[in-house]
Structure 1
Amino acid sequence: MTEPSRTPKQLPREIYLRRRIAALVAILVLVVILIWAATALFSGSKEDPGAESQQAAASGTLTPSEDATSAVETTESTASEESTEPEAGEADKEEPTSEAKPAELTVDPSKTTCSLQDLKVMAKTNEDSVPAGKMPTFYLEVFNPTTEDCSIDLDEEQLRFEVYKMGSNERVWSDTDCYASVETGKQTFKSGETRYFQADWSRKRSEPGQCTEREEAEPGAYFLHTVIGENYSPALPFNLL
């Protein structure tokens, strides 16, 4: 009896091709499924910042970083605007002006009458140290601190400027030694008013009635009095260079 052959019968080539194609398709499908699953997993835990920004812009809201920047700008703008407004309690204060008077130049309500000695006479100069060859300019300021106008006859109570040598108190010059006073006649000094008078000094010495061949005042320290009658200003020191 003849034994059957143990060699397997070879399948047709078409069947092998179909099986390989089916296996490749299955592998591709499995890979696609795995990629899709991984993408879904990661997209659920991490949002797209670009999409968030676009959504925020569309809805009119700001992201946290933009909101912080806006808050800083708003704070600076508010501070700038508030700095231009008067602080509490200052709204009724008046700004100082060039006409504002020092505390000592105020009207005293208790002074209801005015005489020459009530007037405040002050001396001023344009320079504390006057360069050589330049004439000093002096000013007499007079303020009435009473509640009444003050009438003064300057023909009787002479208005004048006087310069003295520092140290020796030697009288060196007065504007009325050789010329008339800068103001004469009856003058009214009104309550609370300051009036100004001016004189220039040629830097030459003088004495009453001696107005020729006058000597130059030497460089050094001097002081000025401005005077009305016997009402003298405080001494004002200055230098001739």
Structure 2
Amino acid sequence: MLSVPRRMFIALSLLALTACGDAQEVTEETALANLGDFSYGYNVVIAKDAQKAPFSRTASEEEIETALKAAMQARLGRYDGDKLYHIGIKVDAYGLAMPGVPVLFTPKSVLVLSVNVWDDSQELKLTEKPKLLTVFEKLSGETLIGSGLTRTKEEQLAILSRNAALKVERWLQENGQWFGVEPIAPESSDADEARAALEVLAPEATQAASNSN
């Protein structure tokens, strides 16, 4: 059984990545970030062989790819900078919270993504290695005990996809030098992203590692 300190650590780790509300649908009033010369090129999303989290509803490759591509286009397709940048996303894993499952195992729905960026004009891959992003539904009165009771699979996937697009947008800002602007401070570290993904996708492994220390 997890110790109290360990439970607290898990809760705080997840809370750090779910502090704000879910991303709303993009409208004409949605503010643009400072992305310099960025203009969205190819919108590539691949969900083949994505791992399904324990106690997750099942979504098809097509369902995941369609939802995520639409959210990415809605958010990043608004930019009209002078240069094209292509973004490729591999969906490594997903979780869509089921109803009636203890919060310890599925605190919320999740997407785990590996993201790469290419500069079209230079024919250059800007990411030395894929950027791991772990994206959750945000904490609210509806989702504190898991959204499986309050949201359909389609609603969960749409919200996760909007949150993912927003997180990708912010990560691009963190690498503003690619687009000729000043970068902003990172919101989380690579270790934070990896730890958060493991806590949801491999709870038994993280529990065993904790018990062995």
Q: TM-score range by the shorter chain?
A: under 0.3
What TM-score do you get using the length of structure 2 for normalisation?
Answer: 0.26
TM-score by length of 1: 0.24
Q: Which is greater in Rg?
A: 1
Structure that is richer in helix per residue: 2
Relative contact order (alpha carbons < 8 A, sep ≥ 6): 1 or 2 greater? 2
